[in-house]
Structure 1
Amino acid sequence: MDGNGRWAQQRGLPRPEGHHAGTTAVHEIVCGALDIGLRHLTLYAFSTENWKRDTDEITTILETIRRDLDEGPLRDLDVRQRWLGHPDKLPTELVQALQRAERRTRNRIGLTLTMCINYGGRDEITRTAAALAQAVQAGDIDPHLISEEDFARHLPHPDMPDVDLLWRTGNEQRTSNFLPWHATYAELHFTPGYWPDVDRRDLWQAITEYSRRQRRHGAAPLAITRDDASALPSR
């Protein structure tokens, strides 16, 4: 969700104001996901690299997230909220709000919304490798037979599905340490607009574009036989 600060600066506002506007866009996108029956939505809200920013901006981002968890409109929607990240350095009040939201919404089935807060993809893989090493040390896993499934079972959320579509706003065209394990076969979608300007129609457009792509996962394209070709509509 890139471009909050630049959106504010473009309007002569302090950068933190962009994060307040970005929260409104989150609500819009979540509602758009519910509208079309999307089952999983994962938002990169605060990365492990974002600690390099100005202290006031960091405080605004984290407090905005906490307030929205406790008071925002998502509380009343059929949304299961989860947190992916690490509590190190996060304010205690935010960690508690994240944990409350997870407990309060754990039985909801409309949409699983995962908020990546103090999250880094390499950090996730490092911690997962450590957990796997502990399992080997305990004798639960044969180190010579470790599979991708074994690794996936030790991720923080083993039931999280692979990413189908990775959408980034703000005219940035890189994945920036976001879900490297899950996004190995993700379709990438980059748009120039800043995050506070998006609405549910942008989400639908991204999914429409995704639906037009052929996903082969390393397989060769299916050959069209003569019989198949004769069945195609003529132009």
Structure 2
Amino acid sequence: MREHLDAAVDAVYERLLRREIDGAPAHVAVIQDGNRRYARERGDDATDGYDDGAQTTERVLDWCAELGVEELTLYAFSTENFERPEEQQQHLFDLLEAKLTEFADADRVHEERVRIRAIGDTDRLPGRVRDAVEYAESRTAGYDGFALNIALAYGGRAELLDAAKGVADAVDRGDLDPADVDLDEIESRLHTSPVRDVDLIIRTGGDERTSNFLPWHANGSEAAVFFCTPYWPEFSKVDFLRAVRTYESREASWRRTRAKRALALVRALGTEVGEARRVLDRLKGTLPDPPEDVDAEGRSAD
């Protein structure tokens, strides 16, 4: 009875949230946290939490398609995950291999022209996972309907460090002029290139930090961030809609801020122009008369 009532309340709340949302962020990035804690609280093995979390991932793909999100990046395996117990790592690798292959063969992926890409230092992954990555990327190469990025062996600071080292090496070899080092040059050397700027980061599991995730694309664009307490396997459509509403509220706030700044600039410029005109009027009486062939604005009569 309680579960039925909760479902009814969620359905009503979902409809209300949907009415409040006008559009959607173009690029959503998700830190899928809490799989192991979810499993432990249920008395299950940690690996069961990863399996349940994989089902949430599939639901999120549906919600993105429904709202019109164009790109989704999932933080599936960080560089810190290599420090986890071997059994958990192997289970994650099994799951990644299976899901990448499953997605690559799914009819909906090809019907909706979903492009699957892995971002990160994928050379650190086991050969079977790299093979699955290559299979998924090759099967969906050239698709432009939706971008699905899977962050594997990914760490934001390591990514920026590798890019900086690459620039330094190119300059040292004489292949790159230091004067030509710009934002585009750095971005071209990132593991995540050509990922677009992030509009919204979602983190589940209760922690309020972005954990070294996409610093170039998220911090540079000042992405909106939504933290929520449900573990990833519990993450619901209501939670997703609340995240999108947070993004829209922040965008509206930014638009108001930009409008105020623009108005202040116009007023400041207007004040300066007015002051300049008053100075010019005061000087007019002290200036000599222009030659007969030059008009009052200083232009030649010819």
DSSP 3-state at the match of 1:181? helix
**Cα distance in structure 1, aligned partners of 2:234 and 2:227:** 14
Identify the residue that residue 54 of structure 2 maps to in structure 1: 23
Q: Is the 8 A contact 2:121 2:191 kept in 1?
A: no
Aligned with 2:229 (options 167, 192, 196)? 192
Residues 82-133 of structure 1: per-residue CA shift (max 9 Å, x gap)? 0011134311000010011011011222210100011111111111112222
**Cα distance in structure 2, aligned partners of 1:222 and 1:190:** 28
User: What does 1:137-152 align with in structure 2 at a 5 Å threshold?
Assistant: 137-152=172-187
DSSP 3-state at the match of 1:213? helix
Q: Indicate the percent of aligned positions where both proteins have the same amino acid.
A: 35
**Cα distance in structure 1, aligned partners of 2:200 and 2:132:** 28
TM-score normalised by structure 2 residue count: 0.69
**Aligned pair 1:206/2:243, yes or no?**
yes
Q: Is the 8 A contact 2:39 2:48 kept in 1?
A: yes
**Would you tell me which structure has more helix in proportion to its own residues?**
2
TM-score normalised by structure 1 residue count: 0.87
Q: Is the 8 A contact 1:31 1:200 kept in 2?
A: no
Q: Is the 8 A contact 1:121 1:177 kept in 2?
A: yes
Q: Which structure ranks higher in relative contact order (CA pairs < 8 Å, sequence separation ≥ 6)?
A: 1
Residues 125-169 of structure 1: per-residue CA shift (max 9 Å, x gap)? 111112222332343432144222221122234321111111100
**Cα distance in structure 2, aligned partners of 1:199 and 1:10:** 18
Matched residue count: 224
Identify the residue that residue 223 of structure 1 maps to in structure 2: 260
Residues 191-220 of structure 1: per-residue CA shift (max 9 Å, x gap)? 000000123443232112211114649x95
**Cα distance in structure 2, aligned partners of 1:164 and 1:144:** 31
Q: Is the 8 A contact 2:104 2:139 kept in 1?
A: no
Instruction: Indicate the RMSD between aligned Cα atoms, in angstroms.
Output: 2.2
**Cα distance in structure 1, aligned partners of 2:72 and 2:48:** 24
**Cα distance in structure 2, aligned partners of 1:138 and 1:166:** 38
Aligned with 1:93 (options 128, 140, 146)? 128
DSSP 3-state at the match of 1:83? strand
The structure-2 alpha-carbon separation of the partners of 1:177 and 1:223, relative to structure 1 and needing over 3 Å to count, comes to: closer
Structure 2: gaps spanning 5 or more residues? 1-31, 264-302
Identify the residue that residue 174 of structure 1 maps to in structure 2: 209
Q: Is the 8 A contact 2:78 2:155 kept in 1?
A: yes
**Cα distance in structure 2, aligned partners of 1:8 and 1:74:** 29
Decide which moves more: 4-13 or 203-212. 203-212
Amino acid at match of 1:209: T
Structure 1: gaps spanning 5 or more residues? 226-235
The structure-2 alpha-carbon separation of the partners of 1:91 and 1:55, relative to structure 1 and needing over 3 Å to count, comes to: same
Identify the residue that residue 55 of structure 1 maps to in structure 2: 86
Runs of 4+ in 1 over 6 A off after TM superposition: none
Q: Is the 8 A contact 1:41 1:114 kept in 2?
A: yes
Amino acid at match of 1:172: D
**Cα distance in structure 2, aligned partners of 1:4 and 1:192:** 12
Identify the residue that residue 160 of structure 1 maps to in structure 2: 195
**Cα distance in structure 1, aligned partners of 2:105 and 2:208:** 29
The offset of 1:73, in angstroms, is 8.2
